[in-house]
């Protein structure tokens, strides 16, 4: 039986209309416990000129940010105004604690650096010992030329005029710590303005996203396969996408060309074309006549269908 997970409040930074998460612990938490993968958008410090391997921060889609807000595990903060106001209003005690936090991170990194260096030196010494054993065995066998007595001319040698200059110890470059977040300095308590939902609850695509997320599905952007979402039965690190997902209104007419093209494209990449809609709630607040109404979807039941193209 697994231990209960402590509740976290994920800080979602809103920057120029984009929803970003900078804390690596928050990124791991929302992926592991809420099925939100997001997209890496930051550059790698060691190689910033390439865009194949990316790093923090991760960018959330509006539906993903809305889901975290609805679940009460995240809040949206206006990074431009709130971050600067919290930094300028911090007292001396908070600043000293933040500096101490940075020093502790530096010490931890230095200890890890020294431990790795000691392991490398131990490996080199072990290799030298193994290479020295055959050399000693060869020196123990006397040769015929070595048994010949040395003459006076041979024993006389010129004085050694070489001077051994001691090597100066190499300068060790200590690791420089650049925190990806200032959570140790700013307050983690969201303000009243920060709890505002990022997108309206009536967003059409959000209804389908929330419905499938509540059933354990994972999502990534589906533009490369011609859909709104690529839907996975588990973590994308373990599974391939099973569906391409699009959302339509309950009374919206679906063009036949969309069904044909999406169905054929999905089948070509070994995926099904999934589309869904939410049934409107009965007028006057009456009980829905559907057999099962999803409690996580206010307004009515969400119905989904899957199409696979077959040969004609």
State how many domains the chain has.
3
Looking at the structure, tell me whether residues 207 and 71 fall in a common domain.
no
pLDDT tier, 20 (very low <50, low <70, confident <90, very high otherwise): very high
Q: Does the pLDDT value for residue 90 go beyond 70?
A: yes
Looking at the structure, tell me whether residues 210 and 311 fall in a common domain.
yes
Q: Quote the domain boundaries for residue 112.
A: 93-130+173-185
The confidence score (pLDDT) of residue 200 equals 45
Catalytic annotation present for 232: yes
Q: Which of 29, 98, 243, 271 is catalytic?
A: 271
* Mean pLDDT along residues 231-241: 94
Catalytic annotation present for 29: no
Looking at the structure, tell me whether residues 232 and 125 fall in a common domain.
no
Looking at the structure, tell me whether residues 107 and 256 fall in a common domain.
no
In a domain, 137, yes or no: no
Average pLDDT of the chain to the nearest whole number: 78
Q: Which two tokens stand for residue 219?
A: 């999502």
User: CB burial class (10 A; 0-12, 13-18, 19+) of residue 76?
Assistant: buried
In a domain, 251, yes or no: yes
pLDDT tier, 162 (very low <50, low <70, confident <90, very high otherwise): low
Q: Which of 96, 103, 240, 270 is catalytic?
A: 240
The confidence score (pLDDT) of residue 128 equals 86
Q: Report the share of the chain in percent with pLDDT over 70.
A: 70
Catalytic annotation present for 242: no
Greater model confidence, 218 or 49: 218
The confidence score (pLDDT) of residue 287 equals 38
* Mean pLDDT along residues 232-247: 94
The confidence score (pLDDT) of residue 291 equals 36
Q: Which of 29, 75, 232, 243 is catalytic?
A: 232
Of 292, 229, 305, 177, residue with least CA distance to 62: 229
Greater model confidence, 60 or 298: 60
The confidence score (pLDDT) of residue 139 equals 63
**CATH code, 233:** 3.40.1350.10
pLDDT tens for each residue of 107-146: 888 898 899 999 999 998 888 888 887 766 666 655 555 5
* Mean pLDDT along residues 148-176: 54
In a domain, 298, yes or no: yes
In a domain, 277, yes or no: yes
Could you tell me how far CA 51 lies from the centroid of its own chain? Answer: 15
pLDDT tens for each residue of 164-201: 555 555 555 555 555 666 666 665 556 554 545 455 45
């Amino acid at each position: 039986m697994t231990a209960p997970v402590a509740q976290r409040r994920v800080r979602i930074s809103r920057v120029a209309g984009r929803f970003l998460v900078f804390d690596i612990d928050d990124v791991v938490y929302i992926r592991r416990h809420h099925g939100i993968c997001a997209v890496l958008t930051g550059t790698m410090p060691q190689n910033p000129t390439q865009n194949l391997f990316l790093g923090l921060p991760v960018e959330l889609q509006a539906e993903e940010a809305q889901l975290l807000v609805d679940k009460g595990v995240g809040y949206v903060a206006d990074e431009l105004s709130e971050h600067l106001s919290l930094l300028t209003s911090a007292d001396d005690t908070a600043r000293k604690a933040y500096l101490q936090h940075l020093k502790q991170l530096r010490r931890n990194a230095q200890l890890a650096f020294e431990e790795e260096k000691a392991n490398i030196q131990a490996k080199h010494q072990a290799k030298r010992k193994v290479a020295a054993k055959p050399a000693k065995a060869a020196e123990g066998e006397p040769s015929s030329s070595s048994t010949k007595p040395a003459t006076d001319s041979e024993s006389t040698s010129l004085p050694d005029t070489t001077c051994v200059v001691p090597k100066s110890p190499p300068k060790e470059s200590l690791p420089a710590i650049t925190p990806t977040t200032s959570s140790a300095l700013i307050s983690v308590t969201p303000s009243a303005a920060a709890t505002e939902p990022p997108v309206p609850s009536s967003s059409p695509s959000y209804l389908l996203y929330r419905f499938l997320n509540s059933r354990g599905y994972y999502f990534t952007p589906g533009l490369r396969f011609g859909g709104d979402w690529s839907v996975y039965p588990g973590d994308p690190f373990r599974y391939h996408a099973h569906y391409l997902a699009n959302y339509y209104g309950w009374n919206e007419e679906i063009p036949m060309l969309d069904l044909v093209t999406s169905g054929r494209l999905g089948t070509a990449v070994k995926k099904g074309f999934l589309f869904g809609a939410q049934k409107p709630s009965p007028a006057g607040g009456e009980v829905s006549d559907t057999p099962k109404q999803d409690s996580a979807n206010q307004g009515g039941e969400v119905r989904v269908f899957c199409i696979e193209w077959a040969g004609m």
